[in-house]
Amino acid sequence: MAEYWLPDLHKLQRISCGYELRVLTQPDFRDLYIDAWSNALCKHRKESDVLGVGAYDNGILIGLAGCSADAENMWQIGIDVLPAYRKQGIAASLVSNLAMETIDRGKLPFYCCAWSNIRSAKTAIKAGFCPGWVEMTVKPTEVVNEMNK
């Protein structure tokens, strides 16, 4: 079960986080397909990762928001922040800045998280997004029973 978020153009603005922010493109992602950035980038669909914003502390990447071109005119945002840097507003800063960069390129950013991921939902709200739609996946009984063991 997932909730999808769209930007609220009355609330969306670039949020600062106190760290250096850099706009990244596909060539910059080459060495970033590691577990730390697995929500921001997808190593199985590298060709879809088109844009990102990274937060840097003294030149070290500490947070990354990435956009995948999931549709021609809609790019999905994913976010990762290193554990030591969480709860500082970095995620909302990266998401809001990436959303603005996406809009500047004529694309509609959207955000997705599991219904149970309260932190991620709070990031979406803080970044200037509002609920757009939900998705529910139906699985065979055998699969559900195995998951609940």
pLDDT attached to residue 149: 83
pLDDT attached to residue 120: 96
> At 93, is the pLDDT very low, low, confident or very high (cuts 50, 70, 90)?
very high
Among the listed residues 32, 72, 74, 24, the one whose alpha carbon sits nearest the alpha carbon of residue 52: 24
Give pLDDT tens digits for 32-62.
999 999 999 999 999 999 999 999 999 999 9
pTM for the structure as a whole: 0.90
- What whole-number distance in Å separates Cα of residue 64 and Cα of residue 147? 31
- What whole-number distance in Å separates Cα of residue 100 and Cα of residue 107? 10
Q: Where are the beta strands (DSSP E) in 1-149?
A: 2-7, 20-25, 49-57, 60-68, 74-81, 108-114, 129-135
Amino acid at 103: I
